[in-house]
Structure 1
Amino acid sequence: MIDKTAATLADALGPVRDGATVLIGGFGTAGVPEELIDALRQQGARELTLVNNNAGNGDTGLAALLASGAVRKMVCSFPRTADSWVFDDLYRRGRIELELVPQGTLAERLRAAGAGIGAFFCPTGYGTPLAEGKETRLIAGRGHVLELPLHGDLALVKAERGDRWGNLTYRKAARNFGPVMAAAARHTVATVHELAELGGIDPEHVVTPGLYVDRVVRIDRVATRAGGFRQERAA
């Protein structure tokens, strides 16, 4: 019987090797798998390359992982925000590398990895420093840059609902990079707020098929004083 559910976040994450490339879902603060990020920090892997749209906010989640010294390189499209002081400090002190990738190119490099595409030409970045050292070509009279797929050893994604086979659905904007990252990684771990019975998710509503997911762990949705919700612990 296929059962990809895990009892705890640590069990879901499992061992992570030093030097791994970790794809982390999220767009700003939407759809960030905070609990899995904390579990990764506690697991202790070092020299990591992280792929995310941003480079952390405030002092928690991704920012806390950066502050722990576990990250060697950040691949993202939007590293500077009003509260990205952890990344800013590390970068200015030469403690972390940055590969800046336009947002659409980041998404397509991840999609290419999941689809088995060897490379693709994209006009974004042509004639700018982002194209330095890359092959370029004129296609239909327009300059293009050769971009390579972006594979991950591990993907951490936050979903809304899943089943024991790993089929996932997402909540609105929290979907963001989750589907392409799940497909682009060798090993994918997802948190969900609801575990459905097999057949409980309409196949037409499945966004990420269980084929791309290795472990699923349910987390509680805990009310905050502000009246909103935060996700705190594995069920």
Structure 2
Amino acid sequence: MLTVVQLDDEVPLDRFAEWLDGVTLRLVRADQGEDIGPVDAVDGLIVLGGNMSAHDDQLPQIPAARTALTEAVAAGVPTLGICLGAQLLAVATGGRVHVDAPPGREAGTVALRWRPEAQSDPLLGALAADPTVVMPTMHSDAVVDLPRTGTWLASSPMYPYQAFRVGNAWGVQFHPEASPELLRRWAVADQLPADEADAMVTAAREADERVARDGRTLAEAFAARVRDHVRHR
């Protein structure tokens, strides 16, 4: 069973729910007090994004998610952290996150710059074969130091650490699951100026055929990792 941890009501699994083929999903609403449970008993783990920071320990779901990520890495459970989930993965494994990083908000669609290590990566390698991948994004906090054991996989023009791997766990700062409609909701929630939000959503819609294709590729590759983990347990 693939456990999906939702940290924020406004940041759901969105289109990944239809793209994670061949696995059973278990949604844990950590933002509503649901317990993640023993991580070594799950087949895979996804930790989603949220409007809080990786250091907001007054919210019980944040330290709980960090603990789950630490345990998942130690147990070799296939893991994917998205946006805040990636930042939590970095902190949980010895990296560092800057809250309200100086470059400012990265919002809309972002062009990924693949590192050489991405070409042979078991999760992102299929995407890294294309040098023109773009993905949705919406964040102000950022990973500024990778864990010592981390492998740097992708950057963007604004922020260096767009994707990395630690053992059998991946963190992506971008949102491969997000539709243009979800980006619109985030823009409204973050009170972006109307003209900025309109331009962002228009660009996302124009790129969405490619984004959906590549998001599905990533989701299917991760589901395959989960199925392989189950077979070799």
Taking structure 1 as the reference length, the TM-score comes to 0.31
Higher helix share: 2
Structure number with larger C-alpha Rg: 1
Taking structure 2 as the reference length, the TM-score comes to 0.31
